[in-house]
Amino acid sequence: MNGWTQEFSRMLHRRAAGDRGAAARGLRQASLPAAPLPEAKKPGAAGGIRALSSGSLRSAGREGPGPWDAPAGGAALRSGPPPPRGDSGGGDGSGRAAMTGARPGAAEQRRAGARGGAAAAAAGGMSGAWGAGRALAALLLAASVLSAALLAPGGAPERGAESARPRDKKRHVELKMDQALLLIHNELLRTNLTVYWNSERCYHCLFQVLVNVSQSRRAGEPSIAAVGVSAQHGSILQLKATEEEKEVCRLEYKFGEFGNYSLLVKHVQDGVDRIACDVVVNEDPVDSNLPVTVAFLIGLALVIAVCFLRFLLSLDDFNNWISKAINSRETDRLINSELGSPSRADALGGDSQLEAWGPAAAPQRLRCVDTFRGIALIIMVFVNYGGGKYWYFKHSSWNGLTVADLVFPWFVFIMGSSIFLSMTSTLQRGCSKFRLLGKIAWRSFLLISLGIVVVNPNYCLGPLSWDKLRIPGVLQRLGVTYFVVAVLELLFAKPVPGSGASERRCSSLRDILSSWPQWLFILLLESIWLGLTFFLPVPGCPTGYLGPGGIGDLGRYPNCTGGAAGYIDRLLLGEDHLYQHPSSAVLYHTEVAYDPEGILGTINSIVMAFLGVQAGRILLYYKDQTKAILLRFTAWSCFLGLISVALTKVSENEGSIPINKNLWSISYVTTLSSFAFFILLVLYPTVDVKGLWTGTPFFYPGMNSLLVYVGHEVFESYFPFQWKLGDDQSHREHLTQNIVATALWVLIAYILYKKKIFWKI
């Protein structure tokens, strides 16, 4: 402790000798250089400030990258010969703008590590006396604390005292998350430049004006403009002479977050007089994905720890040692807990006390179904809370898939499986179809009401009022989908064939043949979707249009977002009652309202749920034949995957029906259903047959899915699920907050499970 105190004191002295003119916490400011000269790198400003500027001489000793920075060594992309290096005059690339950033302080890291270590030690010391379920809760808390300790920002000691650099305060660029600084050096005499920008992910999009750069006044003195550019995806830059609208050059480049780059535009003489455009890295970007890697390693360590604990519990010698420390009753409970193998009576992972399933011969609850539901729900909570503000944890702007696009269809799929399993069980207990229909209608009504009144994103526009009320939504779509699929199954419900039916003719297809009326109805629904999507005339739009509108398709159809799907919603529901901030507005700059949970897409969500019904039917029809279940899951996964390949041509944008979450296209449904069958193919033998995994911790939120979903939406802005960040432009701070908030909901679900509290409607 004494050594730690001395180190902390030395750190304070070093910080006192450093730059005392740091900018305000949380702001990353990039100042336009006063002159294109090399400059010394300034130590990081306090509180995670990254100030990007140039104008003074670079010191001989270059400061190394911090622990969150990418490895040193900048690369250059050139469309002409390389610019001369080492020249101290002019904007030829030797002038580099310095980027500084706060690094986690050593003392701060030690304090954080000590807190994380203490939590881990406490959890380890009590594991012998706790049950395995409580040990799991302790491990979850330890992982959250450790994530916060490793990902939380911290100050860094100054590595050398440097005087404050002069800045041009009249012109500056404020860098935000996922942005980089680009300094455009125009050495062309009598030529003003207009720089246009486009993202490589924006399909057939118009170029957008990025910045105008005035002409150079004299040779060797370039005119410089500074601008922030997106670092999420690759960028396409197009430079044109402003007066002549003549393209000077075009290049593609992937900028890194908070990197500092120069774009040098000048004449070169290599036998032919031409214009060269070169991108030079002045300062390396930070590794913005490092926090995700750290969080993943922490999660992996948690999984390994749980597996190791379970392995220890399976050893007789370890159990004997435990028996000497605690009483035999506690030992038996520890061995047969969630971290141990499920008992023979609970081979299917059901808690018989959760629901009144009637006679003992009734089928028990399949644990893999609740585990799958929990996986989808927890990912949904994480991405809804922000997912660390990473683009791949947000919904795709239009075509394509991200992590956020996976979870809702999986939830719909597993809802379909639950419909068939629970309805079959209810009918076997003698419940009348009329009474069950009333329950279905009431449950659908409650889901739709919760979605409209409680979980309504348009609350951000002010108090709830009818003129701005969003009618579609996630719970609304779940309610409609549940009603249609449940009523369809209720109307054509048949007794589940016994085990002797396997010897009958066509027994290998009885799960499909027994439900042929339902399949006809689903095919009819899909025909309606295809007909409306590709043949419904939409005013001002081409028939069958599937694009995002806005600047997509070269800006020819700016108000045609979603084609027929958007038109039907605006016609029947009104534009004010739709989602006002669709994901297409990010890249495609759409201005019309579009709802991803609209009317037309609900048809395909019904198809998705019915495919889940098919999975539940397989589980029940072949419950004593594990090989037959796995074979059918494999066949369905491959069959649906082949349909997706045919529709998309294994391309994001070039297929006849691209994968699109906003439209809920049929290729989106077949792709996600293929993934869902594959996940069940893994979960069923692992969780329910072999008992290698009990589904922990996902099983617990899967058992209380409605409460977790509504709760995380209602309490999203409340502590401890959200707090004020020291730097709201930091991925790692957002990721820490979102991981802790998600882990808290897992812990809440676990506590409610142990208290046998379940919210069902």
Unique residue bearing structure tokens 């034949």: 625
Q: Token digits for 213?
A: 């750069």
Q: Token digits for 477?
A: 């779509």
Task: Name 252's bridge partners.
Answer: 236
Residue type, 734: H
The residue among 68, 22, 15 whose CA lies nearest residue 47 is 22
Task: Name 31's bridge partners.
Answer: 172
Q: What is the DSSP letter of 236?
A: E
Separation CA 485–CA 620 (nearest Å): 18
Hey, is 336 helix, strand or coil?
A: coil
- Of 395, 589, 712, 731, catalytic: 395
The residue among 760, 751, 732 whose CA lies nearest residue 258 is 732
- H/E run at residue 261: strand 260-269
Hey, is 263 helix, strand or coil?
A: strand
Instruction: Say which residues have a Cβ less than 8 Å from residue 112's Cβ, sequence separation at least 6.
Output: 148, 149, 150, 152, 154
Q: How many residues are recorded in the chain?
A: 761
Vertex 433 angle, CA 428 and 438, to 5°? 125
Measured in degrees and rounded to the nearest 5, phi and psi for residue 232 equal -70, -45
CA 537 to the chain's CA centroid: 35
Separation CA 441–CA 432 (nearest Å): 15
Unique residue bearing structure tokens 């279940």: 629
How many CA atoms, within 13 angstroms, populate the side-chain half-sphere of residue 622?
A: 24
Separation CA 730–CA 47 (nearest Å): 11
Q: Provide DSSP, 196-237.
A: EEEETTSTTPPPEEEEEEPPBSBTTB-EEEEEEEE-SS-EEE
Is 395 considered catalytic here? yes
- Give the CA-trace dihedral at 679, 684, 685, 686, to 10 degrees: 70
What end-to-end distance do the CA atoms of the chain give, in Å? 56
Residues 263, 214 contacting (CB under 8 angstroms): no
The residue among 44, 75, 38, 70 whose CA lies nearest residue 57 is 38
Separation CA 579–CA 593 (nearest Å): 6
Q: What is the DSSP letter of 497?
A: P
The residue among 136, 142, 137, 145 whose CA lies nearest residue 122 is 142
Residue type, 677: F
Measured in degrees and rounded to the nearest 5, phi and psi for residue 53 equal -155, 170
Residue type, 321: W
Measured in degrees and rounded to the nearest 5, phi and psi for residue 451 equal -65, -40
Handedness of CA 560, 563, 566, 568 (dihedral sign): positive
Strand pairing report for 193-199 and 208-213: antiparallel
Neighbours of 186 (CB within 10 A): 25
Strand pairing report for 273-283 and 235-241: unpaired
Q: Which residues are catalytic?
A: 395
